[in-house]
């Protein structure tokens, strides 16, 4: 009996080992296989030269093992659409952040222009720029006010451009705010979308006068033509002191000329000593007198009193 005890002990340990191995194998077989984690990345569908603005048809999204994705790889299309490549990118290449640069405002503006259009910026104040309420996409008229000068005479205001679009307000070409509306802060400049001939008119108008923008209804198609407005259309002319002094000076000069003419007539008739003058035939010399030409009568209102002043006609 003492001889079989070691055998029984060994048998017991053997059975325990078999049971443990069986349990381990069952656990391994029942354990589900690990799922590979996938990550979305962006790659090219064709070769893209340096300096190209990325468009939707140039790129695509695919999924790959997340363990192979690095931090500088592009994972969303929106991250690259509209950006400009700084290197040549081959077909089926994964896009990296360092391959692109942000498009500048000028580049974005130029791409928003159609063939035959121009973008021209004008300076505005809070008043002339509609109190900062202009937004990208608004339609405006452009008015110019020219003060009294030799070219236009009295101060006048004209509408030089009608129904032109606002491309940018300051450095902003518009961004989406609440409910998808485009908004822009107050700015000292507005960029308009116009034709080449309109650009010439706007440039000249901004040099010789002051510009003001007039906001239009977005659905308005017809706009009445106007001939401009001059200062005299809503004011009555009242001569200044300088005007009156000039009129008096002209009247004095005309009176002096008339007196000299009469003295010359008397000298021809009676001589300097008052003796009558005769021809060789014994006839008395009587100079031919030219009929007086009436002047121009104007009404001068000064201090509430009206007075007629005769101004001589200009000499022919």
Angstrom distance (rounded) from CA 161 to CA 118: 14
Note down the domain range covering 164.
107-231
* pLDDT tens for each residue of 59-94: 999 998 888 888 889 999 888 888 888 889 999 999
Unique residue bearing structure tokens 């053997």 = 14
**Distance set, CA 228 to CA 36, 98, 138, 158, 237 (Å):** 75, 56, 24, 4, 19
Q: Tell me which residue of 210, 228, 204, 214 sits closest to 153, measured CA to CA.
A: 228
Q: What is the CATH number of the domain that holds 85?
A: 3.90.1210.10
The whole-number average pLDDT for the span 248-261 is 84
Task: Note whether residue 8 is domain-resident.
Answer: yes
Task: Note whether residue 199 is domain-resident.
Answer: yes
Task: Note whether residue 304 is domain-resident.
Answer: yes
Q: What is the pLDDT of residue 269?
A: 56
The whole-number average pLDDT for the span 197-207 is 91
The whole-number average pLDDT for the span 113-118 is 86
Q: What is the pLDDT of residue 140?
A: 92
pLDDT at position 115 over 80:
yes
pLDDT at position 185 over 80:
no
The whole-number average pLDDT for the span 252-269 is 75
Angstrom distance (rounded) from CA 23 to CA 11: 19
Angstrom distance (rounded) from CA 60 to CA 85: 16
Q: What is the pLDDT of residue 249?
A: 85
Unique residue bearing structure tokens 């077989």 = 29
For residue 310, give both structure tokens: 């005769």
For residue 236, give both structure tokens: 């009555």
**Mean of the per-residue pLDDT values of the chain:** 76
The whole-number average pLDDT for the span 51-58 is 86
Task: Note whether residue 152 is domain-resident.
Answer: yes
Same domain (yes/no): 162, 73: no
Q: What is the pLDDT of residue 22?
A: 75
* pLDDT tens for each residue of 134-151: 888 889 999 999 887 666
Least confident segment among 10-14, 32-36, 176-180: 176-180
Same domain (yes/no): 194, 126: yes
The whole-number average pLDDT for the span 16-24 is 75
Looking at per-residue confidence, does 101 or 28 come out higher?
A: 101
Contacts 24+ apart (CB under 8 A), 95-104: 95/41, 95/42, 95/43, 95/44, 95/59, 96/72, 97/72, 97/73, 98/72, 100/54, 103/53
Query: Strand 84-85 to strand 59-65: parallel, antiparallel, or no bridges (unpaired)?
Result: unpaired
Same domain (yes/no): 150, 76: no
The whole-number average pLDDT for the span 245-256 is 84
pLDDT at position 289 over 60:
no
Which of 210, 231, 252 delimits the end of a domain?
Answer: 231
Unique residue bearing structure tokens 């002209």 = 250
pLDDT at position 243 over 80:
no
Contacts 24+ apart (CB under 8 A), 101-105: 103/53, 105/168, 105/171, 105/173
Greatest mean pLDDT among 121-130, 155-164, 282-291? 155-164
Instruction: Work out how many domains the chain is built from and give that number.
Output: 4
Is the overall model pTM greater than 0.85, yes or no? no
């Amino acid at each position: 009996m003492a001889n079989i005890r070691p055998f029984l002990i060994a048998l017991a340990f053997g059975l325990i080992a078999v049971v443990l191995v069986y349990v381990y194998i069952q656990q391994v077989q029942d354990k589900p296989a690990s799922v590979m984690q996938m990550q979305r990345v962006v790659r090219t569908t064709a070769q893209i030269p340096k300096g190209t603005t990325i468009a939707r048809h140039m790129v695509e999204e695919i999924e790959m093992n997340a363990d192979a994705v690095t931090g500088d790889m592009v994972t969303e299309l929106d991250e690259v659409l509209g950006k400009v490549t700084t290197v040549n990118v081959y077909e089926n290449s994964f896009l990296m952040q360092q391959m692109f640069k942000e498009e500048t405002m000028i580049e974005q503006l130029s791409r928003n222009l159609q063939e035959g259009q121009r973008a021209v910026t004008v300076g505005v104040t809070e008043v002339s720029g509609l109190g900062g309420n202009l937004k990208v996409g608004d339609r405006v008229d452009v008015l110019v006010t020219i003060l009294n000068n030799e070219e236009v005479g009295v101060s006048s205001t004209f509408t030089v451009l009608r129904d032109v679009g606002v491309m940018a307000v300051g450095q902003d070409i518009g961004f989406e705010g609440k409910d998808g509306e485009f908004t822009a802060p107050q700015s000292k400049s507005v960029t308009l979308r116009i034709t080449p001939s309109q650009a010439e008119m706007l440039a000249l108008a901004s040099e010789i006068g002051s510009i003001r923008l007039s906001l239009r209804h977005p659905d308005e198609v017809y706009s009445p033509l106007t001939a401009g407005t001059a200062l005299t259309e809503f004011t009555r002319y009242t001569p200044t002191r300088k005007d009156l002094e000039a009129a008096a000076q002209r009247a004095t000069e005309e009176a002096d000329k008339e007196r000299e003419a009469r003295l010359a007539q008397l000298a021809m008739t009676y001589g300097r000593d008052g003796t009558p003058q005769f021809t060789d035939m014994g006839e008395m010399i009587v100079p031919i007198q030219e009929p007086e030409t009436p002047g121009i009568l104007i009404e001068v209102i000064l201090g509430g009193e009206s007075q007629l002043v005769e101004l001589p006609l200009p000499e022919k």
